Amino acid sequence: MKIKYYLVLLLLSAVLYSFGNDAVVDEKKRNKKKPNIILLLTDDLGYGELGSYGQKTIQTPFLDKLASKSMVFTDFYAGAPLCSPSRAVLMTGMHTGHVSIRGNKGSYPNKYDRVPLKKSEVTVGELLQTAGYQTAMIGKWHLGVSHDESTWAKGRGFDYAVQEQWGKNDKGVEIDERIHWVNNNQDAIFYNYNNYTCLDEFRTNFALDYLDDKEEDKPFFLFMSYRIPHAHEYFLSKTDLYADKIEEWPEIERRHAARITMLDKQIERLYKKLEASGELENTIILFTSDNGPTAENHHDYKFFDSSGGLKGHKRDVYEGGIRVPMFTFWKGKIKPGSVSNHPSTFYDVMPTLAEVAGVKVPAQSDGISFLPELLGKKQAAHEYLYWEVQTSSSVKGFRQATRIGKWKAVRYGNKYQTELYDLEKDVNEVTDLADQFPEIVKQANNILKKESEIIEHYPYSGGVFK
């Protein structure tokens, strides 16, 4: 009996030892796994529309709390003051003088229409796939054409893609913008007032399911491309948010504020999911906006001081059109409550994420990684930053800007002159100093000419100079 007893104990010990070793191996695997990456992109959120950036009226309690645990950037810029080119910069690490998309539409022989990213332009999704990441994009893509699914997110580096699409398909039939395509298959449709507070609640549900279904032993890159606060009314259901302001505020403004507060709630849901699953411990989160605040659909961007006092709005290359909120959270890596005035921009995101993932940055990138800044190390700086946009088919719609240290040069194609502002003394770009500093203007014009490569579909690329 004693022999049998000892044999049982020995066998049990071996089993427990095996389980224990497996647990140690699993823990080592988790510790060695590359950081997960979440990129949260809002649509037309202005520099002044979060409490953490000075907003006094619109409530964003969760985002403000998250910002307090993050590094907040004061001088961060979108890729362009317009959706499609800004997203092209974000996805490729190329500025708008080099990337193939420079406006929401471009000129063709017989039409003015969407332009897709070139297949030769590597996206962040494609780059991170080479680093062993599983990749997902949920929301607004805006970098492809409706009739060619190979230009959609699924074909450009995302294993899992849930996106809206608009325009005509390959059969010439108009696509309903509310349809959501899951891996290029029509899967679900968002209807207003249909069990959701807003479109982004609908999309966040896809993200939560993705986090449940993804592979556990691989790091993930999740690009959440939200639609809020873009001024499309049918993306928002009935709401009682700010009901006490119904008599005081125009309805369009109440709904604008409601959209932003609803976005705050959706990001909180995502954060809590990460926290509950234990993934938050090894996840870097970047939050930003694709351009400055919108002035569309009768919304008054000055009503809530959406630009944070900065000049201009969406479509402008003044600060209000391109300077955007951005903060980065990384538990145990980034000092909570830290503030950075390092001038950086969308084309710096690709090299930053490449460094996080431990993969080489593509030669196409114009960016500089700001990971050293996030980690409190010595940070390299740009000699200058550059922006270009084609907001319409006319010369009036062609706009350029460059920031050289404290100097900001702005040039609107139809004005044939370069404005110059000292951002240290005049961040609101009130006083044009071009006449006082002709040498700085000359330097800026050389940059505007050099950085704008002539490209198909954008006839004013290369600059508009007499």
Parse the chain into domains and list their residue ranges: 36-383, 386-451
Q: Is the pTM of this model over 0.85?
A: yes
Question: Distance between CA 135 and CA 119 in Å, rounded?
Answer: 18
State the pairing for strand pair 179-182/185-189: antiparallel
Residue 24: per-residue pLDDT? 43
Residue 197: per-residue pLDDT? 86
Contact between 78 and 429 under an 8 Å Cβ cutoff? The reply is no
Return the closest-CA partner of residue 455 out of 405, 398, 412, 377.
398
Same topology, domains 36-383 and 386-451? Answer is no
Residue 301: per-residue pLDDT? 97
Contact between 351 and 365 under an 8 Å Cβ cutoff? The reply is yes
Question: Quick check: 28 pLDDT over 50?
Answer: no
Q: What are phi and psi of 428, to 5 degrees?
A: -85, 5
Question: Distance between CA 182 and CA 279 in Å, rounded?
Answer: 24
**pLDDT tens-digit map of 375-391:** 999 999 999 999 999 99
Question: Quick check: 43 pLDDT over 50?
Answer: yes
Name residue 455's amino acid: I
Residue 233: per-residue pLDDT? 60
- Cα–Cα separations (whole angstroms), residue 40 to 15, 149, 188, 266, 364: 45, 24, 22, 11, 24
Average pLDDT, the chain: 92
Q: What are phi and psi of 304, to 5 degrees?
A: -105, 15
Question: Quick check: 25 pLDDT over 50?
Answer: no
- Cα–Cα separations (whole angstroms), residue 293 to 266, 296, 446: 20, 9, 30
Please state which of the ranges 130-144, 190-204, 425-439 shows the lowest mean pLDDT: 190-204
Token pair 């604008």 is found at 256
Question: Quick check: 15 pLDDT over 80?
Answer: no
Report the percent of the chain where pLDDT is more than 70: 91
| CATH architecture under which domain 386-451 falls | 2-Layer Sandwich (3.30)
pLDDT tier, 3 (very low <50, low <70, confident <90, very high otherwise): low
Let me know if domain 36-383 sits in CATH 3.40.720.10: yes
